[in-house]
Structure 1
Amino acid sequence: MRSLNLIMLLAVGACEAVYWQTLTCPYEREHESLLRVWCRQSSTDCCHGLTFSQSAHIVDGGKLKVTQGSDTFTVEVLEPSHGEGVYWCGVLDKNDTIIKLAEGYFHSSSVAYIWSFTRWILLPLLPLVTIFTNVCTRTTTKHISKKAEEPFEDAAVSRALEDSEYVNAASSCELE
């Protein structure tokens, strides 16, 4: 029963976990002062999204965290604003052209995505775990109660003496 409770707690905990997806964006020194770009790819050469400064740490209402390194910036995504798909990080050139630094596929919610597959593995196992736990508990209970009912050695000896063979032998003696 404890294992069933543990599995249920883990399953519920997995649904409540927070998972940040990450993309590291390396840039050249000449692009250091340019605006940063985070966008969802709409075609092979185009994407739509938002821009932010190199000093920004929280973007898109807290859905993005940006960490600045010496020649990289890292974008951590809690929930992609424009749904799942391929996202780019980059810099906005002086002529409003996006220079793509890196790209990655982001799920609308990684935990939900992982859970959608994991639940099909775990959920059929839950009844099996319940049945197995129930059978083990009943077997253990029967074994313990059977040991408690077993007679002691003295009782076994007295039962053997009460056999009809011994009783008849004692009564077949003739008195003279």
Structure 2
Amino acid sequence: MRGFGFLLLLVAALGLSACAPKSKFLKYRGPEVTQVQVHKADRKLYLLHNDKVLKSYDIALGFAPVGHKQFEGDGKTPEGQYFISHKNPDSRYHLSLGVSYPNEADIAFAEAAGKSPGGDIFIHGGPKTKVSQRDWTWGCVSITDREMEVVYSMVKPGTPIFFLP
């Protein structure tokens, strides 16, 4: 009888552990991501190790994605080379990776026009509510929350990111 009680307790403990919420912080033990590429026209994000694609994802962009981001509120996603600046585990959009936009040239261009270049460009998870259009962000790159968990685990701050037209 004593063995049956222990077995029952073990089964209950395993059952409860299966109900525990899954962490959004995954562990990655594969090849280093040496660069991220965003192909705007194709709506694709690629994670690369040297010249080998490790992962690719369909993406959403800013609500006016054609052309380089120039000013705050223009709805464009940047073009050119930037870097992953930081990880944000407390993002409004599940998880996010910061992008080093604006750079010095972006700031100078916007200031010459008497405007702000904007900022807070991220790769992030999806919105909490349904969106009615494919490109809906203010200039960020969006993927699903589950995909973002994988990307977040693979990409480190300092990784170059290339935004291609």
> TM (normalized to structure 2)?
0.24
Q: Which has the higher contact order (CA 8 A, sep 6+)?
A: 2
Higher strand share: 1
Higher Cα Rg: structure 1 or 2?
Answer: 1
> TM (normalized to structure 1)?
0.23
